[in-house]
Amino acid sequence: MSDAESRRVYLGLGSNMGDRGEALRDAVRRIGQLEETAMLRCSSVYETDPWGDVPQDAYLNTVAEIRTSLQPEKLLQSLLDIERDMGRVREVKYGPRRIDIDILFFGETVLEGTEIIIPHPRIAERNFVLIPLEELRPELLHPVMQSTVAELRALCSDTGGISKTDIRLWPETATS
């Protein structure tokens, strides 16, 4: 995979069922094994309050930085396959899940289709995405909002609890 044909992509990962840390490790390993894809690094892992009104356990969340030459739709399908293979069942919106993998940014791509929206439409609303993303790339520019991740984080009104854990993922956790 050459740099000329690949893009840097940021993925949000979360888990709140079973061994959450192991679920994140397994998902990161599987993502790194995708064709035409390289796992570059992951943020720290954060324990976060659940999003939405469904009563459920706390999440572990991280952001992974990958490089891929897959097209956005192909990457999405591959990530959905990983979720399914790991036991993800889509029954309740914002409900509990063993693993959740979202495409946050795909290079500078802006895409709005029936199955995929890039950048992720709720990035600016969620500290559980912004804090780990800011750890990796505070200067990353949102191509639609024209604000950096650090600027979005400063403006975010999310009041959900979030705390850094000691869990380490791939290959080493980024440092702030």
Catalytic-role residue among 25, 30, 88, 137: 88
Cis-peptide, bond into residue 119, ω within 30° of zero: yes
Instruction: Respond yes or no: is residue 88 known to be catalytic.
Output: yes
List, as one string, the DSSP characters of the chain. --GGG-EEEEEEEEE-SSSHHHHHHHHHHHHHTSTTEEEEEE---EEEPPPSSS--PPEEEEEEEEEE-S-HHHHHHHHHHHHHHTT----STT---S-EEEEEEETT--EE-SS-EES-TTGGG-HHHHHHHHHH-TTPBPTTT--BHHHHHHH------EEE-S---SSSB---
Catalytic-role residue among 25, 98, 100, 126: 100
Instruction: Respond yes or no: is residue 102 known to be catalytic.
Output: yes
Catalytic-role residue among 7, 30, 97, 153: 97
Instruction: Respond yes or no: is residue 97 known to be catalytic.
Output: yes
User: CA–CA distance from 81 to each of 44, 67, 75 (Å)?
Assistant: 25, 19, 10
Catalytic-role residue among 26, 41, 67, 102: 102
List, by residue number, the catalytic residues.
88, 97, 100, 102
